[in-house]
Chains A and B, each alone.
Chain A
Amino acid sequence: MVRYILGRLLSAIPTLFLIITISFFLMRVAPGGPFDLERPLEAKVMENLNKMYNLDKSLWEQYIIYMKNVLQGDFGPSFFFRDFSINELFAQSLPISIQLGLSALTLALIVGGIMGVSAAIKQNRGVDYAVMTAATLGVTIPNFVVAPCLTLFLGVYLGWLPVGGWGGGAFVNVILPVVTLALPQIAVIARLTRGSMIEALRSNHVRTARAYGLSGYTIIVVHALRGAILPVVSYMGPAAAALLTGSVVIETIFGIPGIGRYFVQGALNRDYTLVMGTVVVVACFVIIFNLIVDVLYAALDPRVRFD
């Protein structure tokens, strides 16, 4: 297993290299540059700015320079937030996104898991239908609708929770964004758990366990859930990467300084370094989480081998 993990980590290097390279050139294909404004610049000023940010060099040279800096851990200055370097921006916002994402993930796993298991046990009964209806609503209603509705009721009309702002991560400020972020995930996890739990409850080893007269709790948690959780685990890989790298919609609506907004701000403002920064962060999360998922897989299901 250790060898496998090491191998995977090694394979991350060429993967990251390819991701950075492709993104770097893909990004430059889009029209408009970081200094194109509604109000165009003096030619000379533009020239100076381009020189300052090495944009006057050939694309190939820029790529080499960028790669060199990245290897030294320097992601360059931001074009859009000109008072900050990419490293500063991420040092400040990444922890916030991770905190939000992890909270949402935990909430989703617990609530979604419980909902899914109870629905599976009471298949085709009231509980099941209620859970599935709630789950369908959860995935159907987009977060840009849920978030305003929640803030309107709980924030504006009832005044229980703040409508926006991060407030340094105060508990009351975190509730609504976490709930909104978790809702669709709860729905997905509930559905996935229910589906595979139903299968697991019918499988031979659970039947055997029943025949031995084990208690319902032991059967469900120890025997059925262990197998049933597998599809959830493989879903969690990409989902966790997506959650931890923030959500544009949630961050914009709630006014949270996470990294999710940088994806869109970076791209729409042609902030090349910011975009590259987000790409690298996402890539790292994707690679790490997929590795974790594969390791978990092998741990949960002894039949799975990575040879």
Chain B
Amino acid sequence: MIKALRTSALAAALIAATSLNAAAEVVYHRGNTADPETLDQHKTSTTYEANILRDLYEGLVAYSAQGKIIPGVAESWNVSEDGKVYTFKLREDAKWSNGDPVVAGDFVYSLRRILMPETGAKYAGVLYPIQNAEAINQGKLGTEELGVKAADDRTLEITLHSPTPYFLDLLGHQTGLPVHPATVEAHGSDFVKPENIVTNGPFVLKSFVPNDTIVAQKNEHYHDAENVKIDKVIFYPTEDRGAALRRFQAGELHTNNDAPVEQVPFMRENLGNQFRVAPYLGTYYYAFNHESDAVGDADVRQALSMVIDREFLADEIWGSTMVPAYSFVPEGIGNYGDPAYADWMDMDLIDREDKAIEILESKGYSESNPLQIEIRYNTSENHKNTAVAVADMWKPLGVEVTLLNTDTKTHYAHLRDRGDFDIARAGWIGDYSDPQNFLFLVESYNSGFNYARYNKPDYDALMQKAAQTVDLEERAVVLKEAETMFMRDLPFLPLMYYGSLSLVSDKVSGFEDNLMNIHPSRWVSIAE
């Protein structure tokens, strides 16, 4: 048995070796959080879908290895004085994988398609700054009313509803990627099948086996093909992070865009620089239900926030893969300065605790009448550990905490259905680098995300004002005013800014840490 085993292992190694030499094909084994729900870019919504789609397609703009917006299919663009009209000049050598040129009409078709209600695009809202987009998506206007026009094959003009300083970042989102109109017309929703698909990015889809692999082959028609070092990318869904780590250790994966938080010390010790943590554009928070008796009072919320030892959460529970958060908008975001920090941020924890106890006493809570709170969270090891630690931090205040976990769907359905709760865990990863993308969550008319049911006309007014302001500095001031109000009223209790974890083999170069956690395979090369 053992002998047979050894020979077969040897045979496998031999086969691997010969195939490598024969083809000299560079294969990039890339771990990716999960399988995409679909490869139809207009129907996707997650970052792990974006990782694949960005390799298959190229939008008007693309991302550099550093996660910055760079020219994509558009080689240049200019913006009108009032900030409302963008004119893109498309590059001449942009081609689809079947050799067709990429023309402005393709983008008109694609943007109309995503906004058609019939498409059922989950993330169409990202494109609402385009003129009439919202009305079209809601079925109130026809798609031809969309503010996107092709002046000629190489000139695309996009008109916005109001000046939107982060519009180029929006176009970088996977919803801005084009589809090949002829293929979509011919195959309908089957255009994503490997045998039908036509893409314009650095790679083209070869196969998709759910829960196994997604294989993408280099696209020879891509305009920058000569600089693409990878011949084949294989995406592996790595839902089990522990298993992904073992596959990485065994050399079966070159990179993985996540890592098991439980094993951070082990990875730091044994993997060295191959384990990477970078700041990420997101905030981990607890939503306070304003309709709940327990946390309906802003002072009580403030007291609860004060006593949380965020350094402990970030460093011990999350193994320094998160950063303590004293504001809601993460540090380092674009179009903003320093976020509005909590005013007690520099006070010592014990002093904060004294103050918090004082507040709760003044609100009539005592040992005989303790504040009782329930924390709801979706099941996960680290959400559980976080909730346990937070509950422990509230103990000195005499707060009695019960914990309640449910599966993710039940959790979010409960929040959406306005179910009864005191505190619920949630997180937000920015779609684009702008504070508006965080602060809009608690606008009173944002029924989807405003889990706190925060309703303050002054706040809404500030957000409206910011939306009308073209000057970026002025706008930043208004937004900061809004965040200051947020931090005073505390609809959400910010705990930590997210960090992105990745495993990157020493052999890999071009996989660079960045705030957006975007790593197109196009920039990656592998040394053997």
Contacts and interface: CB of A to CB of B under 8 A. Distances in A.
Q: Do A and B have CB atoms closer than 8 angstroms in the complex?
A: yes
Contact of A31 (B237, B242, B417): B417
B372 interface: no
B407 interface: yes
Given A45-B137, A82-B40, A156 B8 contact: no
Nearest to B234: A165
Contacts of A35: 122
Interface string B115-148: 0011111111100000000000111000000000
B37 interface: yes
Nearest to A151: B246
A175 B6 CA distance: 12
Interface residues of B, number: 59
B37 A82 contact: yes
Contacts of A195: none
Contact of A45 (B122, B236, B409): B122
B186 interface: no
A33 B407 CA distance: 13
A155 B252 CA distance: 10
Nearest to A254: B243
Contacts of A255: 211-212, 236-238, 240, 243, 247
A49 B120 contact: yes
Contacts of A252: 239-240, 243
A156 B250 contact: yes
Contact of A156 (B212, B246, B416): B246
Contacts of A142: none
Contact of B45 (A37, A165, A253): A37
A10 B54 CA distance: 53
B39 A83 contact: yes
B99 interface: no
Contacts of B166: none
Interface string B223-262: 0000000000000111110110011011010000000000
A36 interface: yes
Interface string A35-47: 1111111101101
B211 A162 contact: no
Best-surrounded residue of A30, A164, A252 (most CB of chain B within 10 A): A164
Contacts of B192: 83
B40 A83 contact: yes
Interface in A238-256: 251-256
Interface residues of A, number: 55
Contacts of B39: 83
A83 to B, nearest CB: 5
Interface string A164-191: 1110001110010000000000000000
B240 A253 contact: yes
A120 interface: no
A48 B118 contact: yes
A36 B413 contact: yes
Contacts of B117: 44-45, 47-48
Contact of A155 (B123, B246, B414): B246
Task: Tell me the interface secondary structure of chain B in the complex.
Answer: mixed
B448 A40 contact: yes
A254 B212 CA distance: 10
A148 B239 CA distance: 14
A171 B243 contact: no
A82 B448 contact: no
A163 interface: yes
Contacts of B413: 31-33, 36
Given A31-B413, A45-B122, A256 B249 contact: no
B38 A256 contact: no
A136 interface: no
A33 B122 CA distance: 14
Interface in B161-200: 189, 192-193
A93 to B, nearest CB: 7
A253 B243 contact: yes
Contact of B138 (A33, A42, A52, A166): A42
23 contacts: A31-B414, A32-B409, A37-B122, A39-B449, A44-B139, A47-B117, A48-B119, A80-B37, A81-B210, A82-B37, A82-B40, A156-B249, A156-B250, A159-B250, A160-B6, A165-B247, A252-B239, A255-B236, A255-B240, A256-B212, A257-B212, A261-B211, A268-B407
Interface of B: 5-6, 8-9, 12, 35, 37-40, 43, 45, 117-125, 137-139, 189, 192-193, 208-213, 236-240, 242-243, 246-247, 249-250, 252, 407-410, 412-414, 416-417, 426-427, 447-449
Closest 8 A-B residue pairs measured CB to CB? A40-B448, A32-B413, A32-B409, A257-B212, A82-B38, A257-B211, A49-B120, A44-B138
Interface of A: 30-33, 35-42, 44-45, 47-49, 52, 80-84, 89, 92-93, 148, 151-152, 155-156, 159-166, 170-172, 175, 251-258, 261, 268-270
Given A38-B412, A82-B37, A161-B9, 8 more contacts: A31-B409, A31-B414, A39-B45, A151-B243, A163-B243, A253-B243, A254-B243, A255-B240
